[in-house]
């Protein structure tokens, strides 16, 4: 239903995904935990850069991570956000994107070699990986849809609804969401500018679709309408 690529939980245990974030079931993860070390990273810190050699696979424990690419002339694109439970840094030998924290974040770092070995030794592990990547690819396609065919309002609605659904999947309320990232990150994820994102938030508020006490807490006042917007079912067409 949305663009936040990796935030789909599955009954599978595994994972693999070049640059994107993937969910991992606790038990299978636990099997590999002996090799992992924990790292605590402040907000707005770079975890790796595009082109860096991949040394570790990271599991997000707390906080949030932003995965992005930057073009020659400085234009930046956010490809995905990773939240607790997501795993990031898999795939090719060199990272295809930058990764930075958007708030204080705790990561488990699993050496790339150990992870690779685990995938090779356990065929089921590898099979589940394929499924996860296929899901991530579906999500990336959905991101293409959102960016290429939805208006500013529809894009922001789609972003908020995805966060709402994620809350729901985690047993939290679907009626409010926290926005750990900055407006710039949201804008670059949705292919908009910070001004347009800000104005759209204001319009949503004025239209009674959401309420915002602080600018990183959104309370939904008309979730059905937002969902309809997110699906591109707007009246104008």
Instruction: Kindly state whether residue 199 participates in binding DNA, applying the rule CB under 7 A.
Output: yes
With CB cut-offs between 5 and 8 Å by kind, which of DNA, its own copies, none does residue 140 bind?
its own copies
* Residues from 44 through 73 that contact its own copies (CB under 8 A): 69, 71-73
Structure tokens at 134: 């296929």
Residues 6+ apart with CB under 8 A from 124: none
- Binding of DNA by 225 (CB under 7 A): no
Task: Establish if 215 lies at the interface with DNA (CB under 7 A).
Answer: yes
User: Contact between 191 and DNA (CB under 7 A)?
Assistant: yes
Partners of residue 220 on adjacent β-strands: 210
User: Please, are residues 8 and 24 in contact by the beta-carbon 8 Å criterion?
Assistant: no
The CA-based angle 71-106-119, given to 5 degrees, is 75
Q: Which sign, positive or negative, has the C-alpha torsion 169, 175, 181, 186?
A: positive
| Minimum gap (Å) between residue 121 Cβ and its own copies | 11
Cβ neighbours for 153, distance < 8 A, ≥ 6 positions apart: 200, 203, 204, 229, 234
Instruction: Specify the DSSP class assigned to residue 108.
Output: E
Binding at 97: pick from DNA, its own copies, none (beta carbon under 5-8 Å per type) = its own copies
Residue 20's nearest CA partner among 76, 75, 120, 88 is 88
Largest Cα separation within the chain, whole Å, is 56
Q: Is 16 in the site for its own copies (CB under 8 A)?
A: yes
Q: Which residue among 11, 27, 74, 213 contacts its own copies (CB under 8 A)?
A: 74
Q: Considering only residues 131 through 150, tell me which ones interact with its own copies, judged by CB under 8 A.
A: 133-134, 136-138, 140-141, 143-145, 147-149
- Is 206 near its own copies (CB under 8 A)? no
Among 105, 153, 158, 164, binds DNA (CB under 7 A): 153
Residue 209 DSSP one-character state: S
Interacting residue ranges for its own copies, rule: CB under 8 A:
16-20, 69, 71-77, 79, 91-92, 96-97, 123, 126-127, 129-130, 133-134, 136-138, 140-141, 143-145, 147-149, 190-191, 231-234, 237
Interacting residue ranges for DNA, rule: CB under 7 A:
44, 151-153, 182-184, 191-199, 201-202, 212, 214-216, 236
């Amino acid at each position: 239903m949305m663009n936040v690529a990796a935030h789909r939980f599955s009954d599978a245990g595994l994972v693999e995904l070049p640059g994107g974030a993937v969910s991992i079931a606790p038990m299978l993860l636990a099997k590999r935990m002996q090799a992992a070390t924990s790292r605590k990273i402040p907000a707005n810190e770079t975890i790796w850069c595009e082109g860096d050699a991949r040394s570790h696979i990271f599991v997000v424990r707390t906080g949030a991570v932003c995965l992005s690419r930057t073009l020659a002339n400085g234009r930046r694109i956010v490809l995905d956000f990773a939240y607790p439970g997501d795993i990031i840094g898999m795939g090719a030998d060199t990272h295809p994107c930058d990764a930075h924290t958007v708030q204080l974040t705790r990561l488990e770092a699993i050496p790339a070699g150990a992870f690779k070995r685990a995938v090779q030794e356990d065929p089921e592990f590898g099979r589940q990986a394929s499924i996860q990547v296929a899901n991530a690819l579906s999500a990336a396609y959905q991101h293409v849809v959102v960016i290429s065919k939805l208006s500013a309002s529809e894009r922001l609605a789609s972003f908020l609804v995805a966060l709402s659904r994620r809350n729901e999947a985690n047993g939290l309320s679907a009626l409010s969401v926290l926005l750990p990232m900055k407006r710039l990150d949201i804008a670059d994820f949705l292919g908009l500018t910070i001004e347009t994102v800000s104005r759209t938030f204001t319009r949503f508020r004025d239209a009674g679709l959401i309420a915002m006490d602080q600018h990183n807490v959104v309370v939904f006042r008309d979730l059905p309408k937002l969902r309809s917007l997110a699906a591109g079912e707007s009246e104008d067409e």
